[in-house]
Each structure stands twice: as C-alpha cells, then as structure tokens.
Amino acid sequence: MLGGETAVRHLVKRFYALMDTRPQAQGIRRLHPADLAGSEDKLFMFLSGWLGGPPLFVEKYGHPMLRRRHLPFAISTDEASQWMSCMRQALAETTTNATLRAQLDVALTELALHMRNRQDQDAPAA
C-alpha cells in the first residue's frame, strides 16, 4: 500500500534527513551515530517486514526485539515525540494516501512510545 521498496526507502531517507536537520529533533539525533547510513539501512529493513514486505531485518539480524535493542539509549516521551515528529513529516511528504498515513501514524506512535525506557524529565519523582 505504501508503494513498495522504493517508497519505503524514500520515506526512511526523508525521515533521517529531517532528524539530522531539525533543531527540535536534536535530542533523538544525539542517540544516533554521526553517520546515519547504518541506521537508515536498519530502519528500511525493519519497515520492509513490518509493513508486510520481505522480512529483511529478521533475515539479517534475527527477531527485532526493538525494546531490548534500544535499552542502551535513554528514551523518554520527549525522544519518542521527536522521532514521531520527524516520521509524521516524512510520511506527509512521501505518502499521498491520507487514510494510510493516519493508520501508520497510530501504529508508529504506539511503537515509538513502546521504546521509552526512562522517566520523563518533568515528571514528579516517585
């Protein structure tokens, strides 16, 4: 529905370009290596299978275990929101089907929020 490999690659490329250049995404950008090529490739492979295409990530790395793979990185609601802000913009620029965009927004927001592994900065201490 998204348009196959070319469309997924275009979405991922635009997503990382936004993350790399938007001042409001610097919190999430700092969690990535200076060279985003490897991150871009992994997200493309993951999304390929997640969106119903070839399970490229699983074939190369095994089960995604996303939360476990992201545990070394401090991710709060702020970082998840920054990630989603870039993804929403990339989807808006690359996906013309508004219904599909809305469905992906819901699913990807759930995924981004699932990656949280630290308390939000402005949350009261327990």
- What CATH topology corresponds to 4-114? Globin-like (1.10.490)
Q: Cβ of 96: how many Cβ atoms within 10 Å?
A: 9
- Which residue is associated with the tokens 């939000």? 120
Q: How far is CA 117 from CA 3, 6, 19, 46, 48, in A?
A: 33, 32, 20, 20, 25
Position 89 scores a pLDDT of: 98
Position 122 scores a pLDDT of: 60
Spell out the per-residue pLDDT of the chain, length 126, in tens. Answer: 888 999 999 999 999 999 999 999 999 999 999 999 999 999 999 999 999 999 999 999 999 999 999 999 999 999 999 999 999 999 999 999 999 999 999 999 999 999 999 988 765 544
Cα distance between residue 115 and residue 68, in whole Å? 9
Which residues, 6+ apart, have CB-to-CB distance to 22 below 8 Å?
85, 86
Closest listed residue to residue 85, CA positions, set 2, 29, 43: 29
- Which residue is associated with the tokens 């070839």? 54
Position 107 scores a pLDDT of: 97
Q: Cβ of 11: how many Cβ atoms within 10 Å?
A: 23
pTM: 0.91
Position 123 scores a pLDDT of: 53
